[in-house]
Structure 1
Amino acid sequence: MHQALSARTVRLCLREARPLVQVMFVLRFVTGALLTASAAHHRPDTAHLLVGAVAWWAVTVSVYVFNGVSDLPEDRANRSRRPLASGQLTESAARWAVAVTAVAGLLLGCAAGWQVAESTAVFLALGYAYSAPSIAAKCRSWSASAVTCAAAGTTYLAGVAASGSALTAEAAVFALVLSLGVGLIAAVAKDLGSTRGDSLAGRRTLAVVRGERGARRFCAVAGGGLALVLTAGAVWVRQLPLEAAAAVFVVGALCVAGRCLPVRGEPDRPRAPYRTWMVTQYAVHLAALGGLVWA
């Protein structure tokens, strides 16, 4: 009975930490490592890479479960179906999971190398700065964007450290644009449809301050601008993985813009821009990795 309850708690914590986001962070880590190693013509240490990826998964779970705990009032006001807000997962069990996964991530980071361990510590600090009540970067769009952008960038740099190579131009351009996408698109788009709970909680997000229409336009313009930057970077670097990533990013940016500016008469889907951006991120990373295999 105790084991079953523990297994259930673990499953609920993983659900609370959003499985698609967990996989995305690990994919960022691995892509940063492989892009760097390939451009430097260096074969990464497989053991270090795998241990580092598991470490990154653990700290991602820690940060996102902590975010769920800190978001409880807003999530309940927004009628979220996630385990904590719906009452399936207790707050005490969630806090226990935050501590365990944070310690596990730091220990595994040390096993992957000191640079990876330092990156995991920075990532945890950024994650808690985003949600912690005393600072709560999530309460303002500019600070939420800055912290999430830095967290994504730290993930790529941790992958670079795990590869054993120095940062290359190809990996730098890719990491910069995709990290900015997290800060300028994901951090804004995720608040669409949540303005009621965010307003009650005193948050000053772009969707609350400028309205959801203004936030949608911002995401659409940001996507277009980043597509241009990544395309310019691909032309400059002239490497197949970056060229493939840029081509997919352009298509994804157009799709995000289409979701941000819905056609009249169609039912509004507040989460559509965020979900489209998530699909775009996955596609861009897989395109870059596919380019590595093809090259």
Structure 2
Amino acid sequence: MSQALAPRLPQSSISVTAVAGIRRPGVRLTARTVRHCLREARPLVQVMFVLRFVTGALLTASAAHHRPNAPHLLLGAAAWWAATVSVYVFNGVSDLCEDRANGSRRPLASGLLTESAARRAVVATALAGLLFGCTAGWRVAESTAVFLTLGYAYSAPSIAAKCRSWSASAVTCAAAGTTYLAGVAASGSALTAEAAVFAVVLSLGVGLIAAVAKDLGSTRGDALAGRRTLAVVRGERAARRFCAAAGAALALLLAAGAAWVRQPPLEAAAAVFTAGTLCVAGRCLRIRGGEDRPRGPYRSWMFTQYAVHLTALGALLWT
């Protein structure tokens, strides 16, 4: 009797409710995984690589008095963003033991992101980068493939360029240079002197300053992992001095290039770059007794990169 009086929901209502109940947790889990992957790939670094790509494109197009194809530029930037996420999540997977030894709070090291989910994200974003690159043009696709290969060479256990300062510097410098060249390819113009000088100096900065400064404060985990970085082999003081000297040399090089090219964007970028490398040197050669901030030089370099690229782009708009 009670069964006869009990209301019966339509079969369609039951199935829709059941499917919705199943899908909601799945969607939330996927969204959480995506969020953790983006955090693992370092949002500031992702934006920086896209900014390099766009700066390379616009500097080249402006000097050549050519208006770049906007859809190609946007697709190329999307390709570079996806490739950057792939490379840096893969780096997080390969650095898992060292990051835990160094007390990192990134999602992988803290357990918020599983290694299996991270590996799936590496493959998915690499394929997305190549797909976007193909739609932006074959030269952009080729640059994307080169960038992904360099990222693999940096972190892969079998070769691991990150384990030695000289190889880490070479690979990161090449990756930054490839980014600028991809932007040039997306612009549809030939490489100009202004873009070449900018790309060479800023790429060298990535290899000679960022690749060394990022290891400051991580010597314990790096030594346990058998890495032979400059900070591990020679000590952090020597690594700090190297970063300061490299910054001064590159500031002189960019100033000389700006004087040779005589273009307002490059001249403005050189002035900001000089001020920024002075800040980096100040963080590296801190006054005795001051508070030790191992990440200070690297953060100063990141701020300098942003300021230099935004200054160059601002000068392009101004002129």
Partner of 1:56: 80
Partner of 1:199: 223
Describe how 1:278-293 pairs up with structure 2 within 5 A: 278-293=302-317
Partner of 1:46: 70
Query: Which deviations, in whole Å up to 9, do the C-alpha atoms of 1:147-193 show, x marking residues without a partner?
Result: 00000000000000000000000000000000000000000000000
Matched, 1:275 2:299: yes
1:100 pairs, out of 109, 116, 124, with 124
One-letter code aligned to 1:114: W
Partner of 1:129: 153
Q: Matches of 1:212 and 1:265 in 2, distance apart?
A: 16
Q: Matches of 1:135 and 1:79 in 2, distance apart?
A: 25
Partner of 1:18: 42
Unaligned runs of 5+ in 1: none
Describe how 1:45-84 pairs up with structure 2 within 5 A: 45-84=69-108
**Which deviates more, 256-265 or 162-171?**
256-265
Describe how 1:103-252 pairs up with structure 2 within 5 A: 103-252=127-276
Q: Matches of 1:31 and 1:285 in 2, distance apart?
A: 7
**4+ aligned runs moved over 2 Å, structure 1:** none
Q: Matches of 2:80 and 2:124 in 1, distance apart?
A: 14
Give the alignment's TM-score, normalised by structure 2. Answer: 0.92
Q: Matches of 1:119 and 1:274 in 2, distance apart?
A: 27
* Cα drift, residue 42 of structure 1: 0.1
Q: Matches of 1:291 and 1:246 in 2, distance apart?
A: 12
Partner of 1:30: 54
Report the structure number with the largest CA radius of gyration. Answer: 2
Q: Matches of 1:212 and 1:65 in 2, distance apart?
A: 26
RMSD: 0.3
% of aligned pairs identical?
A: 84
One-letter code aligned to 2:205: G
One-letter code aligned to 2:133: G
One-letter code aligned to 2:177: G
Q: Matches of 1:88 and 1:46 in 2, distance apart?
A: 38
Give the alignment's TM-score, normalised by structure 1. Answer: 1.00
Q: Matches of 2:291 and 2:272 in 1, distance apart?
A: 27
2:203 is paired with a residue whose SS is: helix
* Cα drift, residue 264 of structure 1: 1.5
One-letter code aligned to 1:258: G
Matched, 1:6 2:24: no
One-letter code aligned to 1:54: A
Q: Matches of 1:147 and 1:265 in 2, distance apart?
A: 35
